[in-house]
Chains A and B, each alone.
Chain A
Amino acid sequence: MPSSKADLLARLAAKIGALERPGMAAGRPPLPFAVPAIDRLLPGGGLARGALHDVIAAPGGEGHDGAAAGFCAVLVARLMAEGRPALWCHGRHGLYGPGLAAFGLDPARLILARPWRAADTLWAMEEGLRCSGLAAVAGEIGAIGLTASRRLALAAEASGVTAILLRPSAGENAATAAMTRWQVGAAPSLEPLAADVGREPPPWSTWDVRLLRARGGRSGAWRLIWRHGALHDASDTLRPDKAVPRPSLGRNLRQIPGTDCDHGHRSLTAAAATCPPIKTGRAK
């Protein structure tokens, strides 16, 4: 019967999918970014839960990793949306509750830990990943080896808790067992610079986000803005012909629902036109 054949095919496809992308298994729907251009490139249409994701601060920032930390905060906040708390092992510079709250993250449900050594960070993350009562575990760590990252990935897969590594730009080339690897750097605010101090809107968090590697997905680059409690794709403002200052971004923001293949494609090429070439090498 054709219908049973279709069923069989669907089942087989699901099985193969589960084998190829373990994070997708066990009924864990991926977490969509609500940015179609990104979700389109990720397997399953979003960030895999119960997997390890690697967020690296963009190199050359002779300052801080605020943009990458903000990106992680958005991911953790979205993972916490179901109600479970999360664990964040931070480094030298602590996180600030009011700033976290601005990314939709409820600090009252975020457990902060301050390990003093990298070994303790890995240990704390692994312990956290074993605890199914958590939604996510984020850890700030300098460098991580393949073995250590594989341990984290396995622990995440077993419990369904999503692991996020936040790393400085150094050591980004080491292979990890991460499902996705992102590079996030600060980008200039797209707001026009008002001449008079005190009347202009706040400089919105604007990031150059690159998906360097995604198992089972494709790489890409976007310019994202955190505004009004959501991420917005502002990649098309990278296009030279549209990069002129504009009074307000609201009109041009790609809105959350609705998938537009053409736009996504254009934004990618546009990003590629302005950004240096992206290395999409898989771990060898």
Chain B
Amino acid sequence: MPPAGRRLLSLWLPTLATDRLGAVTRPRVSVAAAHGSLTVIAVNRPAGALGLTPGMGLADARAMLPTLDAVDADPAGEAATLAALADWCGRYTPIVALDGADGLLLDITGAGHLFGGECRLIDDMTQHLARLGYGSRAAIAHTPAAAWALVHYAGEANAIAPSGNEAVALLARLPVAALRLAPEVVLGLRDLGLHRIGALFDLPRAPLAARFGALTVQRLDALLGRHVEPVVPHHGTPTHRIRLTFPEPISRAEDIAAAARRLLEALAVRLAKEQLGVRRLDYALYRTDGQVAHARIGTVQPVREPRHLLRLLAEPLAAIDPGLGIETGIMAALETMPLAPRQLAMDHASPDGAPGAADDGDLGLLLDRLGQRLGSRNVWRQTARASHIPERAVRPVAPLEVSDRTGWPPDRARPLRLLARPESIQAMALLPDHPPVQFLWQGRAHRVLRVQGPERIAPEWWLDERPAATATRDYFILEDSAGQRFWVYREGLYPPPTGTIPRWYLHGFFA
């Protein structure tokens, strides 16, 4: 059943393809090759006024208007423009969906009064878009299909459908094409004398579905709200969102930061009520020229402390170009997680009263800042994993992730540094299965004076995943004449079963 009082706004930008190239007063069309000739895809307002319509050949259009300005259609560019406009429409409601190639669908349920009523909202939107150079038309109705039908088929003006039965009466007068059906279905309906949507209301459903397809009935239901069409937002729905419109456009960095602080404080109050913290945050700045600048941050653990979030925002905000000014700022929590009133402490045993040990909020902030600048994958900790293969014995975990505190077996000598990828070395051994007496690494010879080993490590063949080591390794600790200690291994047993010569690798450095 449809949610009571659902209100949807359909925005149609019929001249998007030409408007996006800049406002011109001369007739302009965009063209694309179709059926071996250039066809007009979109026309701007002056061209439309002269009787040019989408679908006509460019040659015909040129015949009507020799000086016509024709540009190539750019579907990718138009899609990007539409997405940017969807972003811009975020000032009205967080739920904005792309609707076809030249339309947007906004769920404005409960948002109308913020702008002084739906009438004001729709005017504000189209006037703003006109100032940005986009011709647009909008309609508001109780279902997405009804709003779409009204915006495309209810004439030149913006339309607002009343709620209830009056809306049904309004919709009944629209042509059947407003049901967004395929052209052949529309023709079929017309052939039967069914020109208006209202004519379909009283027809029996089963024969209608059998004759014109289930989609026709579905569209009719969607139009009337019997079948609820969801609005899938273009960007994910933020869980919490706070908007601040400035009386005057702001552009100074301090003002933008001050606005961010106000928004974060308000957000923190709301999050605290629900015991939530932010994991991902978006600060959207709506510029007067219609661009939307975003400052986005992520945190390693849920946070709602405004000071913390503000410091994280400082870096992305520094890169933001305010243009001629910013009129609206929206702080949106894109992802939240439960956060108890007290911030969690890192899993270390901090002795009570140790200076600074209780100050874990600082640590969380540090980790967030490090992760933001260096990449969260480059800030980590190591924990033990039960594996004999050296490179598998360490598991990276997020800095604040709670991990079990099992250690490594202390009886095995392990290097201080482990090479990410073992380096091939040339080793000389007196006998094939002896440790090397000399090895060559990076072009330098190291004479081995002391040796410990071998420690034999067999591949973990019982693991399902791709084994880290494919052959048995014999590890040796070698100390060269300078006292430097290296960890090397011979891959494969001696004598080799397959006749290949076992190779030597350097895998780490001891202190």
Contacts and interface: CB of A to CB of B under 8 A. Distances in A.
Interface string B438-454: 00010010100111111
B227 interface: no
A13 to B, nearest CB: 24
B389 interface: no
Interface stretch (B135-143, B231-239, B320-328, B375-383): B375-383
B422 interface: no
Interface in A119-133: 120, 123-124, 127-128, 130-133
Contacts of B378: 113-116
Given A83-B357, A97-B383, A70 B511 contact: yes
29 contacts: A62-B446, A63-B441, A63-B444, A63-B484, A64-B486, A66-B417, A69-B511, A95-B416, A96-B394, A98-B408, A98-B412, A98-B414, A99-B416, A99-B417, A99-B510, A102-B413, A107-B382, A107-B383, A108-B381, A111-B367, A113-B374, A123-B373, A124-B370, A185-B482, A186-B484, A188-B482, A202-B477, A203-B477, A203-B510
B383 A188 contact: no
B342 to A, nearest CB: 15
Contacts of A160: 355-356
Contact of B366 (A100, A108, A133, A186): A133
A96 B416 contact: yes
B20 to A, nearest CB: 38
Contacts of B380: 111-112
Interface of B: 346-351, 354-357, 359-360, 362-363, 365-367, 369-370, 373-374, 378-384, 390, 393-394, 399, 403, 405, 407-408, 410, 412-420, 434-435, 441, 444, 446, 449-454, 477, 479-486, 508-511
Contacts of B420: 93-94
A107 to B, nearest CB: 5
Given A94-B420, A108-B405, A131 B366 contact: yes
A128 B370 CA distance: 9
A9 to B, nearest CB: 29
Most A Cβ at <10 Å: residue of B379, B418, B479, B485: B485
Contacts of B347: 108
A166 to B, nearest CB: 11
Nearest to A70: B511
A87 B454 CA distance: 34
A51 B374 CA distance: 25
Contacts, number: 225
A112 B354 CA distance: 23
Nearest to B395: A97
A108 B383 contact: yes
B478 to A, nearest CB: 9
A128 B509 contact: no
Contacts of B394: 96-98
B348 A197 contact: no
B509 A82 contact: no
Given A63-B486, A186-B485, A85 B419 contact: no
A94 B509 CA distance: 10
A85 B414 contact: no
Nearest to A82: B354
Contacts of B351: 82-83
B483 A128 contact: no
B414 A197 contact: no
A109 interface: yes
Contact of B346 (A73, A85, A93, A95): A85
Contacts of B453: 197-198
Contact of A114 (B366, B374, B481): B374
A246 to B, nearest CB: 15
A65 B354 CA distance: 34
Interface string A57-100: 00011111111011101000000001111010000011111111
A13 B273 CA distance: 55
Contacts of B510: 66, 70, 99, 203, 205
A133 B509 contact: no
A87 B374 CA distance: 14
A110 interface: yes
Contacts of A61: 482, 484
Given A85-B346, A103-B511, A108-B403, A66 B483 contact: no
Contacts of A97: 382-384, 393-394, 408
Nearest to B404: A108
Contacts of A60: 482
Contacts of A226: 511
Given A98-B394, A197-B454, 20 more contacts: A64-B484, A64-B486, A66-B484, A69-B509, A69-B511, A96-B382, A96-B417, A97-B382, A97-B383, A103-B416, A108-B348, A113-B370, A132-B359, A132-B362, A159-B356, A193-B450, A197-B453, A202-B413, A203-B477, A205-B485
Nearest to A131: B366
A136 interface: no
Give 9 closest A-B pairs by Cβ, nearest first: A70-B511, A98-B414, A97-B382, A96-B418, A99-B416, A132-B356, A133-B363, A186-B483, A66-B509
A70 B511 CA distance: 5
Contacts of A206: 483
Contacts of B359: 132-133
A210 to B, nearest CB: 15
A101 interface: yes
A189 B483 contact: yes
A191 interface: yes
Contact of B415 (A66, A71, A198): A66
Contact of A64 (B350, B374, B413, B509): B509
B509 A93 contact: yes
Contacts of B379: 111-114
A66 B509 CA distance: 6
A120 B403 CA distance: 28
A114 B360 CA distance: 22
Contact of B363 (A85, A101, A186, A207): A85
Contacts of A109: 348, 381
Contact of B348 (A69, A83, A124): A83
Contacts of A208: 483
Nearest to B480: A63
Contacts of A170: none
Most A Cβ at <10 Å: residue of B399, B446, B483, B510: B483
Given A99-B414, A132-B356, A112 B419 contact: no
A83 B417 contact: no
A148 interface: no
Contacts of A111: 367, 379-381, 399
A92 B184 CA distance: 66
B346 to A, nearest CB: 6
Contacts of A128: 366, 370
Contacts of A124: 370, 373-374
Given A101-B408, A133-B362, A202 B452 contact: yes
A13 B450 CA distance: 51
B381 A112 contact: yes
